Structure 1
């Protein structure tokens, strides 16, 4: 990245410009906000208002103050990496700017005034008390499952369920002693009263819904591929599962299995092959993940599992927890509710911590289907699992240099690349994205427009990961951030749109 690219860069979720004259206390705010969100970079020595290159060489005392900000004004200290870039300042003299690389942190950070901020687009927004608590839950600094349930007593616990679990984990004393001695399920408070934890009620409660009315799982099946309402409502099944988490997991998986179709066809070597709409492991693991990792402190809605003709959508309260992101979820493990996760593991619903989602992806790929995709709407995490295709080969269209369609067979193996010629440009297209990319190319041709190789690559990356950042796009495509922004601006409204804010929003392809 050059000094001119930094100077012209668009301030946003992970990038900001700051004058060398900024007050140290003020600088702490964007540093804290980025650390609490997705990390980012601050370029100091370029005015964020005038874009004037001030440099830092002539401001040694001020520079030293700013270098101490992550230590003196951030709590806890943020491990910022500082580096310099040579430049020529606006007065024509050799100079430098300071670049601060701020990592996304696993902790909640505040400034010296004990105020917590988070980066939202190009702003550093101060968190309310409730938002601060939610961020601490998400980062694992505090666990809502350990919170005492107001009004709950020992009488609200099903001791038979406790006895069964205690036996399973090899505990030989009484169920009540187990609760008092393990996992903080029952604690004595300062008043000498016994508090019952959230995890205890959700796992062993006689009726958890008395305290958490929406701690339930709802399965909805739609006819078609769209969710319609009113006179066109297309719901054909709507079932709710309540009780303990274990009961919900068992009953939900059992019911979804009744809705999954199997297809038998003649495969290679004249042998019949049977394929399911969704692999058995995928259904089980996705259901377990929804119940295990939902944010139970969000009480206004339940887990919803929606089945369409072409996909399953799992909607769970809460965002991806901790350091888990769409681009690292296959190999990064974090339990928002570790006690609930350990409980389900004892019942063999959780296989091995950290392997579940990677295996989901492998199962989908092995069956010729796309891996799940993610999006967050407000406080709901939505994971879409595409249906397994019924046939190994499908007909797709090829657009030649004259814009004409030519039918050809394309092997649908996951991640297999196919080459096609589009307006004289050689473009590699992943077979799983081929249909959507082709529609966009046809759309461009019909509008006498042109999708360059870089623009098609950007669209492919957005299809694979709707949450991909501009910086990640630049690294993947091999062009500058400014070039990425110019291409996005060109395609915005025609081929793609941004849904939601920079923080928590995602890219949506316009077919």
Structure 2
């Protein structure tokens, strides 16, 4: 998009725009160029004072202008491939002049200035990154991969060689498991005589990966309704966690999600049975695989959380979008944060062709009249929402479709109690009270009312019996 000189002059400085005086030193300008390249890219207007917005122009100092034009080459490491243009203007003295527009692309690489300082664009500032954040940016851009870093305190004894053998058989590798680990992918290296077991090795082949990465797991939470509530209004009706190696997590998670997806089978006009689903099977698999495969395992304080509401699934994955992937190009741009894990999953057919998954999801959702997945970054958590194909009233196979006493309108709390009983018939009043955030006396009254109305009945004693839905 082309702007007029007045539009540029009035444009507020921010994440993707800055203006600089012609008198700026190339070393200082390099910091802004580096910061934009490391972040979302942007545009710099040289020849407009950033303090007064006075139009100075650039024609009057050809030697200094040449130094500025060489800044991306002479003061940025590695070189940043900017594009430039000169915009005609009239300067504050009334003379014909030009301002220099520098277009800085978002770069898949990590850039620094000549002093080896890394900057990141935050609002209208170029912020110097400390070592930890610089390292994190290197992981995000694929300059280094966290999956290659040694798993602290892990030894060869922590590797399940049977899991390695199973993978070797899958890819047709004929040597021993130890040779495979030492000769391929850097799974096992040595620092002197001390073996270094990589993070990827533990996540893929470890006997107990959660001993080293406790939150490298998937948690499924199902809510009643379309909002997440807490306290006395808590509406959680299922809360299940899946651990183990990455392949186990994916298989268990997909299998369990399939038990929660509503379906409707019916006889079509062509005489063949058809089935409508809330979510296509491929979408369930792809979203799960993407979360586990592309999560940032250097973030150890939380797990992947999959939240199911009445109208959508939300996949909350630790880590920003990696590399050059953005929410507006994610459908057709591929960049793997954990390439070794991705290659492993490709051998097990969970990754078909690199980069095709999101596009296929969008096509399948469009085919059933559902909008594309929506991606939002909250702090360091990427939230991907997939909207349900809402089945027509009366089609869903849920416990609330049981025949109700005539004229009775079952409350939201009673529906939640029914779901909890369906999940665990032996559930106690105290457990229901804890899960729903209700006082136990309130739960007791609701259970009695449900028994009186013939909705449920108690089989056996209070301690050893169970509930049955009538």
- Length-normalised TM-score, structure 1: 0.75
Residue pairs, 1:71-90, within 5 angstroms: 71-90=73-92
Q: Could you tell me how far apart the structure 2 residues matched to 1:33 and 1:363 are?
A: 38
* Contact 2:254–2:285 (CA under 8 A) maintained in structure 1: yes
Seen in structure 2, the aligned counterparts of structure 1 residues 391 and 370 have a Cα distance that, compared at 3 Å, is: farther
- CA deviation after TM superposition for structure 1 residue 264, in Å: 3.9
Q: Could you tell me how far apart the structure 2 residues matched to 1:268 and 1:16 are?
A: 62
- State the partner residue of 2:108: 106
* Structure 2 residue matching 1:342: 3-state secondary structure: helix
- CA deviation after TM superposition for structure 1 residue 131, in Å: 1.0
* Structure 1 residue matching 2:305: 3-state secondary structure: strand
Q: Could you tell me how far apart the structure 2 residues matched to 1:256 and 1:179 are?
A: 33
- State the partner residue of 2:152: 150
- State the partner residue of 2:28: 26
- CA deviation after TM superposition for structure 1 residue 272, in Å: 6.1
Q: Could you tell me how far apart the structure 2 residues matched to 1:390 and 1:34 are?
A: 46
61-70 vs 356-365, greater mean Cα deviation? 61-70
- State the partner residue of 2:209: 208
* Structure 2 residue matching 1:179: 3-state secondary structure: helix
Q: Could you tell me how far apart the structure 2 residues matched to 1:90 and 1:192 are?
A: 70
* Contact 1:14–1:41 (CA under 8 A) maintained in structure 2: yes
- State the partner residue of 2:235: 234
- CA deviation after TM superposition for structure 1 residue 119, in Å: 0.9
* Contact 2:204–2:245 (CA under 8 A) maintained in structure 1: yes
- State the partner residue of 2:320: 319
Q: Could you tell me how far apart the structure 1 residues matched to 2:108 and 2:43 are?
A: 17
- State the partner residue of 1:353: 354
Residue pairs, 1:86-485, within 5 angstroms: 86-189=88-191, 191-264=192-265, 273-390=274-391
Seen in structure 2, the aligned counterparts of structure 1 residues 10 and 271 have a Cα distance that, compared at 3 Å, is: farther
254-263 vs 323-332, greater mean Cα deviation? 323-332
- CA deviation after TM superposition for structure 1 residue 274, in Å: 2.3
CA RMSD after TM alignment: 1.4
* Contact 1:45–1:54 (CA under 8 A) maintained in structure 2: yes
* Structure 1 residue matching 2:252: 3-state secondary structure: helix
Aligned residues: 391
* Structure 1 residue matching 2:279: 3-state secondary structure: coil
310-319 vs 267-276, greater mean Cα deviation? 267-276
Q: Could you tell me how far apart the structure 2 residues matched to 1:370 and 1:324 are?
A: 20
* Contact 2:187–2:197 (CA under 8 A) maintained in structure 1: yes
* Structure 2 residue matching 1:47: 3-state secondary structure: coil
* Structure 2 residue matching 1:95: 3-state secondary structure: strand
- CA deviation after TM superposition for structure 1 residue 271, in Å: 7.0
Q: Could you tell me how far apart the structure 2 residues matched to 1:280 and 1:162 are?
A: 29
Q: Could you tell me how far apart the structure 2 residues matched to 1:129 and 1:110 are?
A: 12
* Contact 1:214–1:302 (CA under 8 A) maintained in structure 2: yes
Q: Could you tell me how far apart the structure 2 residues matched to 1:220 and 1:268 are?
A: 38
- CA deviation after TM superposition for structure 1 residue 266, in Å: 7.1
* Structure 2 residue matching 1:375: 3-state secondary structure: strand
- CA deviation after TM superposition for structure 1 residue 12, in Å: 1.2
- CA deviation after TM superposition for structure 1 residue 389, in Å: 3.1
- CA deviation after TM superposition for structure 1 residue 269, in Å: 6.6
* Structure 2 residue matching 1:224: 3-state secondary structure: coil
Q: Could you tell me how far apart the structure 1 residues matched to 2:154 and 2:274 are?
A: 53
- State the partner residue of 2:65: 63
Q: Could you tell me how far apart the structure 2 residues matched to 1:8 and 1:48 are?
A: 11
- CA deviation after TM superposition for structure 1 residue 273, in Å: 4.2
* Contact 1:295–1:317 (CA under 8 A) maintained in structure 2: yes
* Structure 2 residue matching 1:97: 3-state secondary structure: strand
Alpha-carbon displacement from aligned partner over 1:286-313 (angstroms, at most 9, x marks no partner): 0000000000011110000000000000
* Structure 2 residue matching 1:312: 3-state secondary structure: strand
* Structure 2 residue matching 1:344: 3-state secondary structure: helix
Q: Could you tell me how far apart the structure 2 residues matched to 1:342 and 1:37 are?
A: 27
* Structure 2 residue matching 1:239: 3-state secondary structure: strand
Q: Could you tell me how far apart the structure 1 residues matched to 2:91 and 2:265 are?
A: 70
Q: 5+ residue gaps in structure 1?
A: 393-511
Q: Could you tell me how far apart the structure 2 residues matched to 1:80 and 1:368 are?
A: 41
Q: 5+ residue gaps in structure 2?
A: 394-470
- CA deviation after TM superposition for structure 1 residue 265, in Å: 5.7
* Contact 1:39–1:103 (CA under 8 A) maintained in structure 2: yes
- Length-normalised TM-score, structure 2: 0.81
256-265 vs 22-31, greater mean Cα deviation? 256-265
* Contact 1:368–1:389 (CA under 8 A) maintained in structure 2: no
Q: Could you tell me how far apart the structure 1 residues matched to 2:369 and 2:280 are?
A: 11
Q: Could you tell me how far apart the structure 2 residues matched to 1:369 and 1:121 are?
A: 35
Alpha-carbon displacement from aligned partner over 1:440-499 (angstroms, at most 9, x marks no partner): xxxxxxxxxxxxxxxxxxxxxxxxxxxxxxxxxxxxxxxxxxxxxxxxxxxxxxxxxxxx
Q: Could you tell me how far apart the structure 2 residues matched to 1:48 and 1:391 are?
A: 58
- State the partner residue of 2:400: none
